[in-house]
Structure 1
Amino acid sequence: MTREEEVIRAYVARYRRLFEERKGISDDLSALDKEAKAEGLDPKMLRATVKALEVEAAARDRIDQTFTAYLAAAGGTTAPDGATEGDLL
């Protein structure tokens, strides 16, 4: 076997192992979603909460403000007190 073949086989083995680990993690997350749902919780909201907690507070505030502005501009909600549509965008 050539060095190139050995390197390729090693990479293929690593990919296979990581794909299997990813499947296991995916299965674990699915089971966790089912457990949360059985407790009456919303798995999508739990995942969103985890993602939000990974973002720094200042960045999260900017994201929330931008989302609120887009939602208001699209007619999904009213603008914050005293704000006009121009202030939001």
Structure 2
Amino acid sequence: MVQAGGVAGEQLRSYIERIERLEEEKKGIAEDIKEVYAGAKAVGFDVKILRKVVAIRKMDQADRQEQEALLEVYLHAIEGGQIPEPTE
């Protein structure tokens, strides 16, 4: 094993190459996700809302409930104690 300045060159190269491969895979997956969102948009779905739904589904139940409660409190506070009724 060749060492330069105390660093094992082959081992380091192996890590770097693995990281590079994973970065390429990540780039490919990001492109795939982008295409799925584009497909959803093409059939009329709101991509901004889809992204929000995906983010919410990633949260555990406790974090989700806490965020919803805080959102309600903040809305209540800025609207003078009144949460407007949804319009139909």
One-letter amino acid of the counterpart of residue 48, structure 1: K
Q: CA-atom RMSD, angstroms?
A: 2.5
Name the % identity: 35
Number of matched residues?
Answer: 80
Q: Distance in 2 between matches of 1:68 and 1:10?
A: 51
Aligned to 2:44: 40
More strand by share: 2
4+ aligned runs moved over 4 Å, structure 1: none
Q: Distance in 2 between matches of 1:79 and 1:18?
A: 47
TM-score normalised per structure 2: 0.73
Alignment gaps of 5+ in structure 2: none
Measured after TM superposition, the shift of residue 58 of structure 1 is 3.9
Aligned to 1:49: 53
SS at match of 1:41: coil
Q: Which has the higher contact order (CA 8 A, sep 6+)?
A: 1
Alignment gaps of 5+ in structure 1: 81-89
Measured after TM superposition, the shift of residue 54 of structure 1 is 2.7
